[in-house]
Amino acid sequence: DQKRLQEGWEMVERNLTKTTSLVKDFLSFAKGRPPATKVVAPNALAQEIVDLYRETAAQSGVLLALEVSAETRPAALDPDGIHTCLTNLVSNAIDACQMSDKPVTHVVVRVREENGTLIFEVIDDGAGMDYDVKQKVFTSFFTTKGGEGTGLGLLTTRKIVQQHGGTVEVESRPGLGSLFRVTLPRDRLPPPLQEEAGNS
Which pLDDT score, from 0 to 100, does residue 24 have?
A: 55
What tens digit of pLDDT does each residue of 121-168 get?
999 999 999 888 888 887 755 444 544 444 577 888 999 999 999 999
**pTM for this entry:** 0.78
Which pLDDT score, from 0 to 100, does residue 198 have?
A: 44
**Mean pLDDT over each residue of the chain, to the nearest integer:** 83
Which pLDDT score, from 0 to 100, does residue 3 have?
A: 74
Q: Using CA atoms, how far apart are residues 144 and 49, in angstroms rounded to an integer?
A: 22
Residues of the chain with pLDDT under 50: 18-19, 21-22, 25, 29, 142-144, 146-150, 195-200
All structural domains of the chain, each given as residue ranges with its CATH number in brackets, are 2-199 (3.30.565.10)
